[in-house]
A = this chain, B = another copy of it.
Amino acid sequence: MHSEVVASRSADQRDSSRESRNGTPTLDAVSLAIIQQLQEDGRRPYAAIGKAVGLSEAAVRQRVQKLLDQGVMQIVAVTDPLTVGFRRQAMVGINVEGDVESIADVLTGMSEVEYVVMTAGSFDILAEIVCEDDDHLLDVINKRIRALPGVRSTESFVYLKLKKQTYMWGTR
Protein backbone atom coordinates (compact mmCIF):
# COMPACT_ATOMS: atom_id res chain seq x y z
CA MET A 1 0.00 0.00 0.00
CA HIS A 2 2.57 2.55 0.97
CA SER A 3 5.90 2.64 -0.74
CA GLU A 4 8.91 0.76 0.46
CA VAL A 5 11.96 2.82 1.14
CA VAL A 6 15.39 1.63 0.25
CA ALA A 7 17.31 2.11 3.44
CA SER A 8 20.83 1.05 2.79
CA ARG A 9 22.51 2.54 5.77
CA SER A 10 25.63 4.07 4.41
CA ALA A 11 27.59 7.11 3.41
CA ASP A 12 25.65 10.32 3.44
CA GLN A 13 22.56 9.36 5.33
CA ARG A 14 23.68 8.37 8.75
CA ASP A 15 23.57 11.60 10.73
CA SER A 16 20.20 12.36 12.19
CA SER A 17 21.38 14.62 14.97
CA ARG A 18 24.03 16.90 13.57
CA GLU A 19 23.26 20.56 13.89
CA SER A 20 23.16 22.74 10.84
CA ARG A 21 24.11 26.41 10.72
CA ASN A 22 20.77 27.71 11.90
CA GLY A 23 20.53 25.37 14.87
CA THR A 24 18.04 23.01 13.29
CA PRO A 25 18.91 19.33 13.10
CA THR A 26 19.86 17.88 9.78
CA LEU A 27 17.65 14.94 8.93
CA ASP A 28 18.78 11.86 7.11
CA ALA A 29 16.74 9.96 4.56
CA VAL A 30 15.50 7.44 7.09
CA SER A 31 14.11 10.03 9.46
CA LEU A 32 12.42 11.77 6.56
CA ALA A 33 10.86 8.48 5.57
CA ILE A 34 9.62 7.98 9.11
CA ILE A 35 8.09 11.45 9.19
CA GLN A 36 6.44 10.72 5.89
CA GLN A 37 4.85 7.60 7.31
CA LEU A 38 3.53 9.54 10.26
CA GLN A 39 2.17 12.27 8.03
CA GLU A 40 -0.04 9.67 6.47
CA ASP A 41 -1.11 8.27 9.82
CA GLY A 42 0.13 9.65 13.10
CA ARG A 43 -0.77 6.44 14.93
CA ARG A 44 0.81 4.00 12.54
CA PRO A 45 2.50 1.25 14.58
CA TYR A 46 6.26 1.47 14.94
CA ALA A 47 6.64 -2.04 13.60
CA ALA A 48 4.82 -1.13 10.40
CA ILE A 49 6.93 1.97 10.00
CA GLY A 50 10.02 -0.09 10.62
CA LYS A 51 9.07 -2.48 7.88
CA ALA A 52 8.51 0.39 5.49
CA VAL A 53 11.77 2.17 6.20
CA GLY A 54 13.94 -0.87 6.90
CA LEU A 55 14.50 -0.53 10.62
CA SER A 56 13.59 -2.46 13.72
CA GLU A 57 10.57 -1.45 15.74
CA ALA A 58 12.73 -0.22 18.61
CA ALA A 59 14.94 1.86 16.37
CA VAL A 60 11.93 3.59 14.89
CA ARG A 61 10.55 4.29 18.33
CA GLN A 62 13.85 5.80 19.44
CA ARG A 63 14.03 8.01 16.39
CA VAL A 64 10.47 9.16 16.71
CA GLN A 65 11.06 10.03 20.33
CA LYS A 66 14.08 12.05 19.40
CA LEU A 67 12.30 13.87 16.62
CA LEU A 68 9.59 14.80 19.07
CA ASP A 69 12.06 15.86 21.74
CA GLN A 70 14.00 17.97 19.27
CA GLY A 71 10.78 19.63 18.20
CA VAL A 72 11.33 18.64 14.61
CA MET A 73 7.82 17.27 14.43
CA GLN A 74 4.73 16.93 16.59
CA ILE A 75 2.12 14.23 16.37
CA VAL A 76 -1.27 15.77 16.97
CA ALA A 77 -4.93 15.71 16.19
CA VAL A 78 -5.82 18.42 13.70
CA THR A 79 -9.32 19.73 13.18
CA ASP A 80 -11.03 22.58 11.48
CA PRO A 81 -12.03 24.77 14.41
CA LEU A 82 -14.94 26.20 12.45
CA THR A 83 -16.23 22.73 11.74
CA VAL A 84 -15.78 21.59 15.28
CA GLY A 85 -18.00 24.43 16.33
CA PHE A 86 -17.90 27.49 18.37
CA ARG A 87 -15.10 29.65 17.01
CA ARG A 88 -14.21 32.65 14.92
CA GLN A 89 -11.00 32.49 13.00
CA ALA A 90 -8.95 35.02 11.09
CA MET A 91 -5.62 35.67 9.49
CA VAL A 92 -4.08 38.99 10.39
CA GLY A 93 -1.43 40.67 8.27
CA ILE A 94 0.78 42.92 10.34
CA ASN A 95 3.23 45.68 9.55
CA VAL A 96 5.90 46.49 12.03
CA GLU A 97 8.36 49.27 12.60
CA GLY A 98 11.56 48.21 14.28
CA ASP A 99 12.34 44.65 15.24
CA VAL A 100 9.93 42.27 13.54
CA GLU A 101 11.03 39.21 15.42
CA SER A 102 10.38 40.69 18.84
CA ILE A 103 6.80 41.43 17.82
CA ALA A 104 6.49 37.93 16.43
CA ASP A 105 7.67 36.61 19.76
CA VAL A 106 5.00 38.52 21.62
CA LEU A 107 2.32 37.17 19.29
CA THR A 108 3.68 33.69 19.82
CA GLY A 109 2.98 34.09 23.48
CA MET A 110 -0.69 34.84 22.96
CA SER A 111 -2.93 31.84 23.42
CA GLU A 112 -5.42 32.86 20.74
CA VAL A 113 -2.66 32.91 18.16
CA GLU A 114 -2.20 29.52 16.54
CA TYR A 115 0.21 30.36 13.79
CA VAL A 116 2.85 33.01 13.31
CA VAL A 117 5.08 33.47 10.26
CA MET A 118 7.50 36.20 9.35
CA THR A 119 7.10 37.00 5.70
CA ALA A 120 8.53 38.97 2.82
CA GLY A 121 6.03 41.13 1.00
CA SER A 122 3.56 43.78 2.01
CA PHE A 123 3.13 42.23 5.46
CA ASP A 124 5.94 41.55 7.86
CA ILE A 125 4.00 38.99 9.84
CA LEU A 126 1.02 36.76 9.25
CA ALA A 127 -0.76 35.52 12.34
CA GLU A 128 -3.69 33.16 12.52
CA ILE A 129 -6.15 33.79 15.31
CA VAL A 130 -8.73 31.42 16.78
CA CYS A 131 -11.40 32.93 18.99
CA GLU A 132 -14.59 32.16 20.81
CA ASP A 133 -16.74 34.68 18.98
CA ASP A 134 -16.72 38.03 17.24
CA ASP A 135 -16.28 40.02 20.43
CA HIS A 136 -13.29 37.98 21.37
CA LEU A 137 -11.78 38.34 17.92
CA LEU A 138 -12.31 42.07 17.93
CA ASP A 139 -10.69 42.30 21.30
CA VAL A 140 -7.63 40.36 20.27
CA ILE A 141 -7.08 42.26 17.06
CA ASN A 142 -7.98 45.78 18.05
CA LYS A 143 -7.03 45.89 21.70
CA ARG A 144 -4.17 43.48 22.03
CA ILE A 145 -2.39 43.27 18.69
CA ARG A 146 -2.83 46.80 17.39
CA ALA A 147 -1.88 48.13 20.79
CA LEU A 148 1.55 46.57 20.71
CA PRO A 149 4.27 49.17 20.41
CA GLY A 150 5.95 48.66 17.06
CA VAL A 151 2.81 47.50 15.28
CA ARG A 152 2.23 50.02 12.53
CA SER A 153 -0.87 48.57 10.92
CA THR A 154 -2.93 45.41 10.57
CA GLU A 155 -5.32 43.95 8.07
CA SER A 156 -7.73 41.15 8.92
CA PHE A 157 -9.13 38.30 6.92
CA VAL A 158 -11.95 36.57 8.71
CA TYR A 159 -12.30 32.93 7.75
CA LEU A 160 -15.48 31.97 5.99
CA LYS A 161 -14.66 28.42 5.10
CA LEU A 162 -11.65 26.16 5.35
CA LYS A 163 -11.31 24.22 2.14
CA LYS A 164 -8.11 22.30 2.56
CA GLN A 165 -5.62 21.42 5.24
CA THR A 166 -2.88 18.91 4.50
CA TYR A 167 0.42 17.78 5.94
CA MET A 168 1.69 15.68 3.12
CA TRP A 169 4.78 17.33 1.70
CA GLY A 170 7.07 14.73 0.33
CA THR A 171 4.17 12.37 -0.24
CA ARG A 172 2.47 13.61 -3.32
Contacts and interface: CB of A to CB of B under 8 A. Distances in A.
Interface stretch (A52-60, A77-85, A143-151): A77-85
Given A111-B172, A163-B104, A126 B75 contact: no
Contact of A117 (B75, B79, B101, B163): B163
A115 B164 contact: yes
Interface residues of A, number: 62
A62 to B, nearest CB: 15
Copies in the complex: 2
A164 B91 contact: no
Contacts of A101: 161, 163
A6 interface: no
Interface in A6-56: 24, 26-27, 32, 35, 38-43
Given A107-B163, A107-B164, A163-B118, A78 B73 contact: yes
Contact of A78 (B76, B91, B156, B162): B76
Report, nearest first, the 5 A-B pairs whose CB atoms are least far apart.
A38-B77, A42-B75, A119-B157, A121-B157, A111-B172
Interface of A: 24, 26-27, 32, 35, 38-43, 72-79, 81, 83-85, 87, 90-91, 93, 101, 104-105, 107-108, 111, 113-123, 126, 130, 155-169, 172
6 contacts: A76-B78, A84-B169, A116-B162, A118-B163, A119-B158, A119-B159
